[in-house]
Chain A
Amino acid sequence: MEPTYKDGGFNFCFKQRYLFTEPERGDVVMIRLAGEKVMLLKRIIALEGDTLAFEDGTLYLNGEQVDEEYVRYPSAWNLAPRSVKKGYVYVVGDNRSVPVDSHHFGQTPLKRIVGGPLW
Chain B
Amino acid sequence: MVIHKWTVTSAIVLVAGFVFYFFIYDSPEKQIQKQFAVLAEKLEKQTGESPLISAGKAKAAADFFSHTCTVDIPEYDTQKKITAKEMARHILAFKSRFVAVQVKFYDLSVELTGENTALVAITAETRTTSASGEAEENIIEFECLLEKIEDNWKFYHISAVEVLEK
| Chain A residues packing against B (C-beta within 8 Å) | 31, 33-38, 40, 42, 79, 82, 91, 104-108, 112
The answer to whether A112 touches B163, judged by C-beta atoms less than 8 angstroms apart, is: yes
A35 and B109 form a contact (CB under 8 A)? yes
Given known pairs A33-B141, A34-B122, A37-B123, the reply for A105 and B164 (CB within 8 Å) is yes
Q: A34-B121, A34-B141, A38-B123 in contact; A107/B164 too (CB < 8 A)?
A: yes
State which of A33, A36, A42, A106 has its C-beta within 8 Å of the C-beta of B165.
A106
Q: A33-B139, A33-B141 are in contact. Are A38 and B165 (CB under 8 A)?
A: no
Could you say which interface size class chain B belongs to?
A: 10 to 19
List 26 A–B pairs whose Cβ atoms lie within 8 Å, in order of A's numbering.
A33-B106, A33-B123, A34-B106, A34-B107, A34-B108, A34-B142, A34-B161, A35-B106, A35-B107, A35-B121, A37-B106, A38-B106, A38-B107, A38-B123, A38-B139, A40-B163, A40-B164, A42-B164, A79-B166, A82-B166, A91-B164, A104-B164, A107-B164, A108-B163, A108-B164, A108-B165
Which residues on B are within 8 Å of A, measured CB to CB? 106-109, 121-123, 125, 139, 141-142, 161-166
Chain B residue with the shortest CB-CB distance to A112:
B163
Enumerate chain B residues within 8 angstroms of A42, measured Cβ to Cβ. Answer: 164
* Neighbouring B residues of A104 by C-beta, 8 Å: 164
Complex: A105 Cα to B123 Cα, angstroms: 17
A102 CB to closest chain B CB (Å) equals 9
Do B123 and A35 touch across chains, with their CB atoms under 8 A apart? yes
Residues B123 and A31 in contact, CB atoms below 8 Å apart: no
B122, B123, B141, B161: residue with the most chain A Cβ atoms closer than 10 Å:
B123
Contacting pair B163 A31 (CB below 8 A): yes
Expressed in whole angstroms, the Cα–Cα distance for A108 and B125 within the complex equals 20
Smallest Cβ distance from A119 to chain B, in angstroms? 23
